Amino acid sequence: MKDKRLEQQIQHSLNAELSGLNTTSWQRDQFFENATGGTKVKKKISVVAVLIAALMLITITAFALTNGFGILEYHPDQSANQAYVDSIMALNQTWDGKYFSATIHEAVFDGMKMTFTMSIIPKENADPVFIIPRITATHGDKELHTFITHSSVIMDDGFWIPCMEPDVAYDFDNIGVDVILSDDSVTFNPTDDQIKWEISFDVLHTDWPIDYTAQDEPMIGEPEWTDSDYENYESQFVKAYEEKRVLLNQIAMLSPFAAAVPHDPSMEDEMEYPDYIEMLLTQDAFVIEEKATFSFVADPLPVKHAKQPVSFEMPDGLLVHVENISVSADQIGMKLRITKPGSDQPLRLEDWQNWTIAVFAQGAETKYPEVNYSPDDDGSLHYNAYWTITGETDQLILIPVEAELYSDVIKNQGAVTEEQQARTIRIDLE
């Protein structure tokens, strides 16, 4: 669990550092001109294009008014992505329970990622409840692996209704959630068959009093704790459990408390993480009182992959293997395996902290929203990243850049140094 929290801290820190770095159409074209030696083509805006844009704006507004918080309000950068817009489904499914009511407004599935929007309304004077989400995707007889990559409210390991985080007020009226097919995005080939989705919420209630820690574990960049510091921190959750109190950290997470429940640690490797958390919480402190369920089917959009295997060497001797490139109507998924030939020492997270990957898509704009690293048992390092893309493309250009120079490469119209130009990797898609 400590490793999972560390990975979350690293991912959140990187996302905060890199979020908002976009490539505009002009920056993208400038980059491709620099990278390929081509000539930039000036575009003219016709009256027809203006009329189409106006009609699209009217359509988007009507969509939002009739269906509550919609997909295009959650992902407004996709409003001109016609293939994506045409696949949005209006669901408007409502569930009413003892502690809250919930409505799922819209959903869309791009072949790799399913996005839905919803509203949750807590009942007046109802006790706080902890919600563990279950999101399943079934293709034929096979259940596919899913993982929540982004949401302001809903997390894989649970969330509170109402919000229990001190001095924070989440917008439960306007919730957007992105769910990827994690391992299956590499091998899953969309067909004409529909994907069956089920979204359910296990509602956990406790009669135990709820307290908060006075101090939390240090975040990245803060002074490290000693082993004794960690032991003292974790012992307070054990004490709370023994005293029949639920103890939360300062961001209202329950995983440290769940870890204090007596259990066999090997079970964590045998169970899905949400199942593991729920099993520990419901051993004594919580009871599952209700279950909210929503279901629908969706046609996947086409997904493109790299035509050929790709590997490249970094200046510091690291070797990067592109294990998967998947490009859908609205996102790029990339999985890298990083090794150091000739070294017997396993790679650590710090071995890649000076590097990142800038990605440009020919004919489409990109944004860098999510990235995470994880060491493997074989000594290699996995680098997983997802970019938003706003249109169709047949070619990607990857540039390994120093992390401190990433924003310069993006913001300086895609201009790169000669050294960065020499590292450029072009990947054709099919």
Residues 310-345 have pLDDT tens digits of 999 988 889 999 988 989 989 998 889 999 998 888
Q: What was the pLDDT predicted at 189?
A: 56
Going by pLDDT thresholds of 50, 70 and 90, the confidence category of residue 82 is: very high
Provide the mean pLDDT of the chain. 81
Bond prior to 162 in cis (omega within 30° of 0): yes
Distance CA 258, CA 4 (A): 14
Side chain identity at 101, as an amino acid letter? S
Task: Using the predicted structure, report yes or no on whether residue 57 has a pLDDT greater than 80.
Answer: no
Backbone angles phi, psi at 43, to 5 degrees: -105, 145
| Average pLDDT estimate for 29-44 | 37
Residues 355-377 have pLDDT tens digits of 888 888 988 888 866 787 888 88
Identify the weakest region by mean pLDDT among 13-17, 112-116, 158-162, 421-425. Answer: 13-17
Going by pLDDT thresholds of 50, 70 and 90, the confidence category of residue 413 is: low
Task: Using the predicted structure, report yes or no on whether residue 174 has a pLDDT greater than 80.
Answer: yes
Q: Cα separations (Å) of 32 from 282, 340, 414?
A: 55, 31, 8
Task: Using the predicted structure, report yes or no on whether residue 156 has a pLDDT greater than 50.
Answer: yes
Distance CA 356, CA 84 (A): 28
| Average pLDDT estimate for 215-230 | 83
pTM greater than the 0.85 cutoff: no
What is the four-CA torsion angle of 6, 12, 18, 21, rounded to 10 degrees? 160
pLDDT > 70 fraction of the chain, expressed in percent and rounded: 80
Residue 103's H or E segment, with its range, is strand 100-109
> Domain locations in the chain?
1-86+303-430, 88-300
Task: Using the predicted structure, report yes or no on whether residue 126 has a pLDDT greater than 90.
Answer: yes
Q: What was the pLDDT predicted at 1?
A: 45
Task: Please tell me which of 4-13, 22-31, 96-105, 386-395 the model is most confident about, judged by mean pLDDT.
Answer: 96-105
Task: Using the predicted structure, report yes or no on whether residue 56 has a pLDDT greater than 60.
Answer: no
For residues 215 and 64, which has the higher predicted lDDT (pLDDT)?
215
Residues 8-34 have pLDDT tens digits of 444 444 443 443 344 433 333 434 444
Distance CA 173, CA 176 (A): 10
Residues 245-282 have pLDDT tens digits of 999 998 899 999 999 999 888 887 788 888 899 999 99
Going by pLDDT thresholds of 50, 70 and 90, the confidence category of residue 73 is: very high
- The encoded tokens of residue 393 equal 């493309």
Task: Using the predicted structure, report yes or no on whether residue 37 has a pLDDT greater than 50.
Answer: no
